[in-house]
Amino acid sequence: MNCPKRIQILKLYKDLLRYGQQLKLTDKKYFEERIKTEFRKNIGLTDEKDISYNFEKGIIVLIKRAVQ
């Protein structure tokens, strides 16, 4: 996979936050904070492989509808 563009990463961020609001049996606030923490932690990534890996990890959460 090519390195995702900034706009794709922001869309993933918004989609994950929206997904968190739909959760029924999970602490929504915890899920939201976890997403925000992960994105803040990775904001300084410059290596394309690391960026792609984390982007794919987020996509998998949305596809499988499961947090790992």
pLDDT in tens, the chain (68 residues): 689 999 999 999 999 999 999 988 888 999 999 999 999 999 999 999 999 999 999 999 999 986 65
Please give the pLDDT value at position 68.
Answer: 55
pLDDT reported for residue 66: 67
Let me know: does 16 contact 35? Beta carbons within 8 Å: yes
Q: What is the pLDDT of residue 11?
A: 97
∠ CA 63-65-68 to the nearest 5 degrees?
100
pLDDT given at position 5: 95
Do the beta carbons of residue 5 and residue 52 sit within 8 Å? Answer: no
- What per-residue confidence (pLDDT) applies to 2? 85
**Which residues have a Cβ under 8 Å from the Cβ of 22 and sit 6 or more positions away?**
none
